[in-house]
Chains A and B, each alone.
Chain A
Amino acid sequence: DIVMTQSPDSLAVSLGERATINCKSSQSVLYSSNNKNYLGWYQQKPGQPPKLLIYWASTRESGVPDRFSGSGSGTDFTLTISSLQAEDVAVYYCHQYYTTPRTFGQGTKVEIK
């Protein structure tokens, strides 16, 4: 199974400052035939289902603010919130859909400092 490990587990950032979340997979999720990383990032607010932010590791989902960006390849990935807003308080998850069993990171809780 591919193990997804996020860091940190929680993060407190001042409004307007940058938030960075890391995700490391135990095996590469890069499919060589199409050069795509099968990695997504999701935001979950209390009492709501998760929402897709980023797919293919770096493609922003339609309607997602451009302060959210994804980067990385192979086994190391990053979600960056360039200027944290109050509405960004949530838990963020990475997820690999390269192979089954599909797996998620444990989640990173982002709060306002």
Chain B
Amino acid sequence: EAQLVESGGGLVQPGGSLRLSCTAAGFTFNTYEMNWVRQAPGKGLEWVSTISNGGGNTYYADSVKGRFTTSRDNAKNTLYLQMDGLRAEDTAIYYCARQSSLAYWGQGTLVYVSS
């Protein structure tokens, strides 16, 4: 069965950086598009980014474009989200999810941006 485990969240000051990881198991990672979706406390779901299966194509929400970078290491079955220039409004649980239909989700990792 497919499994996704996020890590790397935590408390960071405004303007700081954080790198999230999503480790995949139970499926052929390099054949699937991967996504990051976030959820601010008590709010709805917000798509953040998508990366193609080979990593050659990436897409971002306007709210994070130029500040966040999605990448993947298919040899390590791992997806990354490099977050720079963090703002208070980036505070959220960050989920990774497999394929365009978001068929599998990790449990999420909390990013808290505060001074």
**Binding partners A and B:** yes
Q: Given A100-B59, A101-B61 in contact, is the A52-B47 Cβ separation under 8 Å?
A: no
Tally of A-B Cβ pairs under 8 angstroms: 53
Contacts of B88 in A (CB 8 A): none
Chain B interface residue count: which class?
20 to 34
Contacts of B45 in A (CB 8 A): 42, 44, 50, 93, 95, 104, 107
Contacts of A93 in B (CB 8 A): 44-45
B37, B59, B102, B108: the one contacting A52 at CB < 8 Å is B102
User: Are A104 and B47 touching (Cβ within 8 A)?
Assistant: yes
* Max count, chain A CB within 10 A of own CB: residue among B46, B47, B62, B106: B47
Contacts of A104 in B (CB 8 A): 44-47
Q: Which residue from chain B places its CB closest to the CB of A39 in the assembled complex?
A: B101
B44, B46, B61, B102: the one contacting A40 at CB < 8 Å is B102
Contacts of B108 in A (CB 8 A): 49
Contacts of B29 in A (CB 8 A): none
Q: Which residue from chain B places its CB closest to the CB of A38 in the assembled complex?
A: B100
Q: Which residue from chain B places its CB closest to the CB of A1 in the assembled complex?
A: B62
Q: Bound complex: CA of A4 vs CA of B64, how far in Å?
A: 20
Q: Bound complex: CA of A50 vs CA of B100, how far in Å?
A: 14
User: Are A101 and B102 touching (Cβ within 8 A)?
Assistant: no
Q: Which residue from chain A places its CB closest to the CB of B108 in the assembled complex?
A: A49
Interface set of A (CB-CB < 8 Å, partner B): 38, 40, 42, 44, 49-52, 55-56, 61, 93, 95, 97, 100-107
Smallest CB-CB A-B distances: 7 pairs: A102-B47, A49-B105, A97-B100, A55-B101, A100-B59, A104-B45, A107-B44
